[in-house]
Amino acid sequence: MHVHLPKPLHGWRAFVGEVGIIVLGVLIALGAEQVVESVHDRYLARQAIDHIRSELAYDSAFAAERIALGDCMRASFNDLRQRLITAGDNWPGLEGKPLDGAARVSPMVSLYASAPAMTSPHRLWPVSAWTAATSNGVFNRGEGRFFNYAALYAMVDWLGRLQDHEIADYSKLMPFRVPQKLDPAARLELLRDLGAVDADNADVERLASVFVTAAKRNGIPPDQHWLQRVLGPDAQRRGSCVKQGPALDAALAREFNADVRS
């Protein structure tokens, strides 16, 4: 039986050649692995950006809704303020008959066991796509768009905070739902609480207009599916004061430009 032993290398050139082939193979393998990882990372980054843009479009639809309802809310505030001034000592309650021309209001709001006579829409403002992208590192922080998206999400966070504050102020109107004797001190308290809710609504409306405009400038218009889903029922409950289509676009432009001038 003959055993073939490997032939010894003949000289340094042969040795270097063998080692060079091995090193080259390792480098090619490592390079190929890096290419695969780079392609995969780019795919994950694109996927994360798609999710972020979809989420911002969803948030923008709810921000646009607040602009669409601006006239409705102001009419309701003015109506209640006028009724408070003229009611005298016998307050008929927030459910009393509104003045002619005042906006109709929704009879039910899911956040309340007993809904106040007037409320703004209270929506969820999701940020899960942004949280996931920034926590797992797939989004390139060196990219210019990172800071644009970060600024948009900062506004989303602030819209949520303003809404929480608004809900707390609305709760102060609850005791005045029912008919009661209304002395001057109680009337003054209700007027003060009404002024706080009016200011809350104005703050949300201004920030919403800036957010929608900034999102559009980044190529992210409001999600039309969700916008129509909320504006349709809003128009049925509140009437023609709800802005849609070109009227909503004009209101957005007006609010944004007014905010910039100030």
C-alpha span between 253 and 262 (Å, rounded): 14
Give me the residue label for tokens 């909320």: 230
Greater pLDDT, 23 or 52: 52
Q: pTM, whole model, 2 decimals?
A: 0.74
Q: Which pLDDT belongs to residue 64?
A: 95
pLDDT digits (tens, 9 = 90+) for 84-141: 888 778 888 776 555 444 444 444 333 333 334 467 888 989 999 999 888 877 666 5
**Strand, helix or coil for residue 101:** coil
pLDDT digits (tens, 9 = 90+) for 143-157: 568 888 999 999 999
